[in-house]
Amino acid sequence: MPPQPLSQPSLLTPPATVSPQTALHLSQRAPLLLSKSPTSSLPWPLSLLFNTETPDTWTIHENALYASLRTGDDATARQLLSRLTARFGEENPRVLTLRGIYEETVAKNNAELEAVLKNYDKFLKDDPTLFPIRKRRAVVLKALGRTQDAVAALVELVDQSPADAEAWAELGDLYKELGSFSQAIYCWEEVLLFAPNSWAVCSQGCAIWREDNC
């Protein structure tokens, strides 16, 4: 039986979980994605005949955006963001988050990051339940060197959303940076409670525990 060909990287795979080389390959496919519109501008019901949307269409666009940002192709990322905005609207929570990630990535200095932070504060004043925005706000605070503020933001977040493994993991990393190893381990234990297969976090926590108890 001949060997099976290796499967090609898929834009259904989040770029953060793939190698830099694979992320580059995925970002290079973005212009082809943009060359075709999955939606039709024809009036209904003719639009139904030419609409090529599938359940995966916008996941692919989102992952292509992430891959483009990861590889420094800001222009393509902006086009993908514009298409997602046109499809779902500027006030869609997911679009707000993606726009924030784009603005964080292209920010050239702390002043521009502060502007992103100000936008996040405005969004949260209007709707405190935007948990993805609250997480991005903590990321920006960390990037600005305001680690204690980032910790406070994440503590408040996990108090209100205790099953958020991603927030617990980030909080654990921040406590580690501050040298608060017992708090970091507690956070990573919470990660494993809600995401039992997070072995990388478990290994990191065990290493910290051994260092702290030698």
Residues 139 and 202 in one domain: yes
Residue 28 CB partners (closer than 8 Å, separation 6+): none
Residues 27 and 81 in one domain: yes
**Inside any domain, residue 9:** no
Residues 145 and 187 in one domain: yes
Is the distance from CB of 80 to CB of 65 less than 8 angstroms? yes
Residues 96 and 130 in one domain: no
Residues 139 and 87 in one domain: no
**Inside any domain, residue 198:** yes
Question: What pLDDT does 5 receive?
Answer: 36
**Inside any domain, residue 24:** yes
Residues 28 and 88 in one domain: yes
**Inside any domain, residue 80:** yes
Mean pLDDT in residue range 180-201: 84
Helix residue ranges, H only, the chain: 20-28, 30-34, 46-50, 57-70, 74-88, 93-106, 110-126, 131-143, 147-160, 165-177, 181-194, 199-212
To the nearest whole number, what is the mean pLDDT of the chain?
84
| Domain count along the chain | 2
Condensed to tens digits (0 to 9), the pLDDT of residues 14-36 reads: 666 677 888 888 888 888 889 88
**Inside any domain, residue 40:** no
Residue 68 CB partners (closer than 8 Å, separation 6+): 27, 30, 74, 76, 77, 80
**Inside any domain, residue 92:** yes
**Inside any domain, residue 6:** no
CATH number of the domain at 188, please: 1.25.40.10
Domain boundaries, position 170: 124-214
Highest averaged pLDDT of the listed ranges 7-11, 19-23, 83-87: 83-87
Residues 68 and 141 in one domain: no
Condensed to tens digits (0 to 9), the pLDDT of residues 115-170 reads: 999 999 999 999 999 999 999 999 999 999 999 999 999 999 999 999 999 999 99
CA distance 192 to 203: 11
Residues 96 and 136 in one domain: no
Question: Is residue 60 predicted with pLDDT exceeding 60?
Answer: yes
Residues 98 and 128 in one domain: no
**Inside any domain, residue 116:** no
